[in-house]
Amino acid sequence: MTALQKKDHNPVEHLTRSDIESLGEELDALRAQIIESRGAADAAYIRRTIDVQRKLEMGARGVLLFSKYKPAFWLGTAGLTVSKILENMEIGHNVMHGQWDWLRDPKIHSTTWEWDNASPSDLWKHSHNELHHTYTNVLGRDNDLGYGIMRVDEDQRWMPFYLGQPLWNALNACFFEYGIAAYDLELGKYMKGRKDKAVFKRDLDKVGVKVRNQVTRDYVIHPLLAAPFGSWGSTLAANALSNLGRNIWTHSVIMCGHFPEGVETFTKTSIEGETRGDWYLRQMIGSANISGSKAMHIATGNLSYQIEHHLFPDLPSNRYAEISVTVRDICARYGLQYLSGPLPKQVGSAWMKVIRLSLPNHIAAKVKFPSRRKPVAPTALPSRITAMEQSERAA
């Protein structure tokens, strides 16, 4: 992968300016249609999800009181892991995106939600909603590309440090929530002296309080509650395992969104004067989906519909499946690849890229890595339809 603007073959060069603008109009119309049809069923969906998650968490923590018995240990650990995943992905991430602000329910609102994660919600909302979603895949502006510690693009200069990046990535997966917290703190920027000291100190305090609360709950309070049942050690282990499981899962899902082979990146200057159509186009070809069952989509917080999420980050996640039908159709008509694949394939692809880019370009070039961005023949490109109509009229 290399920035779109530097490629030999540009996968969007068949699009005229008016094509891109009409793509924008079609997506705006889709957005309006979903907003118009939001209603009681959607509200019931998020409330039911929250209800299920909280009851699952209570149930799992209850079962873990008896975790000195093996079946209770595994049942409780599995329940708590699933509950944490649901809480972070389908609920926390999406509520904090403002997807449910339209309910006007102060309890399910982007301004009040706090999640089960080391990163405090306000820091996360800034780095994720504002920086990542605005500058998606723009090299040098979107830190989600490699989280500031990895080389994810041929255009990035290679340094020996990057040889270790498969290892860093594996460690990051295990401690992902702390990785996110460090990322939201803009730790790298601070160490290079490009972040205000007072602001950093204030943010660090926030993270400190949040981490202390999280750690106290999972590794002190709940083991203490289980102690009278002789299960303190096993409860502590179960909590650690469920945090590990949640971390690896969220890391995998997030890697699938923008890392698989075939996802495009963009140069810093390419977004100057970007129109709404350009913006949509960048989100579309800069993201990748995961295909799978309904349960899998819920477990990813519907981030398996990463393309749809990046086009419409504030539309309710339960509608992405429906939106994807139109987006897929638009991709086919406009000759754009709709990058999607099952989880193992997408995770594998993302990991292959991490490994390949740990090597300098001239060595990596010797290993064959086929591009997954295939040319797609447009079936009904607006500019061609207009051209055809004009020539028919002329005839």
Partner 1 sequence: MELLSGDRPMDDGRETVAPSLWRSRAIGFLRAATTPLLPEDYVDLFDPLRTTTVLRARVTDIISETDDAATVVLQPGRTWRGHVPGQYIRIGVDIDGVRMWRAYSVTSGPRTDGRIAITIKAISGGAVSTHLLSSLQVGQIVQMEQADGAFVLPEVLPAKILLLTGGSGITPVMGILRHAVQDLDDVVMLHSAPRPEDVIFADELRSLGDDGRISLLERHTDEHGLLDTDELDALVPDWRERETWACGPAGMLEMLEGHWESAGHAHRLHTERFRPALAEPGEGGTVYFTNADREIDCDGARPILDIGEEAGVLMPSGCRMGICYGCVLPMREGAVRDLRTGEVTTATPGDGILIQTCISAAAGRCDLVL
Which residues of this chain interact with partner 1, rule CB under 8 A?
A: 28, 32, 35, 38-43, 51, 54-55, 58, 97-98, 101-105, 107, 109-111, 114-116, 125-126, 129-130, 133-134, 210, 213-214, 216-217, 220-222, 225, 279, 313-314
- In the bound state with partner 1, the residue whose beta carbon lies nearer, of 10 and 37, is 37
- In the bound state with partner 1, the residue whose beta carbon lies nearer, of 287 and 358, is 287
Helices 70-86 and 40-64 cross at an angle (nearest 10°) of 150
- In the bound state with partner 1, the residue whose beta carbon lies nearer, of 7 and 133, is 133
- In the bound state with partner 1, the residue whose beta carbon lies nearer, of 14 and 126, is 126
Nearest to 313 by CA among 334, 283, 286, 268: 283
DSSP lists the bridge partners of residue 265 as 3
Query: In the bound complex, what is the minimum distance in angstroms from residue 166's beta carbon to partner 1?
Result: 32
Local structure of residue 140 (DSSP, 8 states): T
- In the bound state with partner 1, the residue whose beta carbon lies nearer, of 134 and 371, is 134
Query: In the bound complex, what is the minimum distance in angstroms from residue 355's beta carbon to partner 1?
Result: 33
Query: In the bound complex, what is the minimum distance in angstroms from residue 366's beta carbon to partner 1?
Result: 42
- In the bound state with partner 1, the residue whose beta carbon lies nearer, of 97 and 151, is 97
Nearest to 5 by CA among 365, 270, 389, 296: 270
Question: Which stretches of 259-381 are DSSP H helices?
Answer: 276-285, 294-299, 306-311, 320-334, 343-356, 361-364
- What is the sign of the dihedral through the CA atoms of 250, 311, 129 and 320? negative
Which residue in this structure is represented by tokens 């989280």? 147
Query: In the bound complex, what is the minimum distance in angstroms from residue 86's beta carbon to partner 1?
Result: 14
Query: In the bound complex, what is the minimum distance in angstroms from residue 85's beta carbon to partner 1?
Result: 16
Query: In the bound complex, what is the minimum distance in angstroms from residue 208's beta carbon to partner 1?
Result: 14
Rounded Cα gap, residues 126 and 112, in angstroms: 14
Which residue in this structure is represented by tokens 């996110």? 180
